[in-house]
Chains A and B, each alone.
Chain A
Amino acid sequence: MTAAMTLVATLIARDVRRGYAGGGAGLVCGFFLLSVVLFPFAIGPDRAVLMRVGAGAIWVAALLAALLPVERLVAPDVESGWFDQIRVHGLSLPLVMALRILAHWLAFAPPLMLAALVAAGLFGLETAALVRVEAGLLLGTPGLAALAVATGALTAGLRGAGGLAGLLLLPLALPLLIFGAGSGDMGAPKLLAAVSLMLVAGAPWIAAAAIRSVRD
């Protein structure tokens, strides 16, 4: 294994472990399922209505669940001086943040997509609709992970960071919600992928700049 591969593997393994530590991924999935369960209670048991709103409800719950880990994604490492050491070791902050997005996606998206299978059952989604929802989550969750990491960096060290993170993340995630929930429409998956890719490409730079501004 080359030095670069060791570096990448070491950073991803650390961040994935932290993602799952303390039941982090389980908490996100639990919250996601609880949020999804609320919809049938609020809307009523009409099967046709539930099938129609199912994809949208799953996406709303996914967005809300994505908020949960935001405070833990960056702030603890800013406070502990971890990022200072990363810079002293000569590592590129945008690269480290890109790897953190990947690690967060690995810790967050697969469990969420599994939980979405259960949620689809609650809404009585048919196989074709279920496949569309899962494909939408596969395309959209990288963008959601990127947004979460960037928001975590932008709010690191601020008072009331949790609430502020919600105010920042939810509006910025609207395109993902629109194209994700409508992923059955013509062209929506491509637009969802484009938005997701844009967020993944931009977030590491935004997160790195935010961390530098806090510590400089």
Chain B
Amino acid sequence: MILELHQVACARGGRLLFTQLSLTLGAGEAVVVTGPNGIGKSSLLRLAAGLIAPFEGRVTRSGRIALATEDLALDTERRLGEALSFWARLDGLAAVDRRAAAALDTVGLGKLADVPVRLLSTGQRRRAGLARVLAAEAPLWLLDEPGNGLDVAGVAMLERAIADHRAGGGAVLLTTHQPLALTDAWTLALDGHVPA
């Protein structure tokens, strides 16, 4: 078991978003969270990441986490390669520069390693966020709308990266509005229904 949510309830801004939500993610598994805007998809990811506490229930994680949201969290004035290496270095990983370069190659940004982060386009920033996740080598990926801003080739790259991660024993919990070709992935549709 890499992630387990047991009878979890989440409240934001004094409003219950969902209750009694249980979910278990093991090696090689993926869950796609869908639902309309504001229903609590990103909150579910933040809850799984430990950034917010559940109103009720229990969240259990084993191993490290890699989180990618619309917030890039890379120093905008630094070169892309250096900015990625920073996070790998914080994780105490070895060969951080080589790791960052490999991650950038995987997401198709290998040639932009020396470009300042602030000069990246929206799609490139999304790819850079995925590169940070790849470089972390964490068993659990939490991806918030990872396909946003990506072109067709970018979406294909994302699907490949997720498949490779799962094949390597990793697990993925992601939110999306767009259909992604993920084999044997569970879908969790949030509908905003909260039992009285």
Contact = CB atoms under 8 A, between A and B. Distances in A.
Interface of A: 3, 6-7, 10-11, 14, 18, 21-22, 79-82, 84-85, 87-91, 215-216
Given A21-B77, A80-B72, A81-B69, A7 B90 contact: yes
Looking at chain B's contact residues, the main secondary structure is loop
B61 to A, nearest CB: 10
Nearest to B49: A88
B98 interface: no
Nearest to B65: A88
13 contacts: A6-B89, A10-B89, A14-B86, A80-B73, A80-B74, A81-B69, A81-B71, A81-B73, A84-B51, A84-B67, A85-B87, A87-B49, A89-B64
User: What band does the interface of chain B fall in when counting residues whose beta carbon is under 8 Å from A?
Assistant: 20 to 34
Given A6-B92, A82-B73, 6 more contacts: A3-B92, A10-B90, A18-B77, A80-B72, A84-B69, A89-B91
A6 B88 CA distance: 11
B189 interface: no
B75 interface: yes
Contacts of B75: 14, 18
B86 A84 contact: no
Contact of B52 (A6, A10, A90, A216): A216
Contact of A80 (B50, B64, B71): B71
A216 B89 contact: no
Contact of A90 (B64, B71, B72): B64
Interface in B13-46: 46
Contacts of B46: 84
A7 B91 CA distance: 8
A28 to B, nearest CB: 18
Contacts of A11: 90
A10 B78 CA distance: 14
A89 B90 contact: yes
A132 to B, nearest CB: 39
Given A87-B50, A87-B51, A81 B72 contact: yes
A94 B76 CA distance: 24
Nearest to A9: B89
Give 3 closest A-B pairs by Cβ, nearest first. A81-B71, A3-B92, A81-B73
Contacts of A79: 71
Contacts of B91: 89
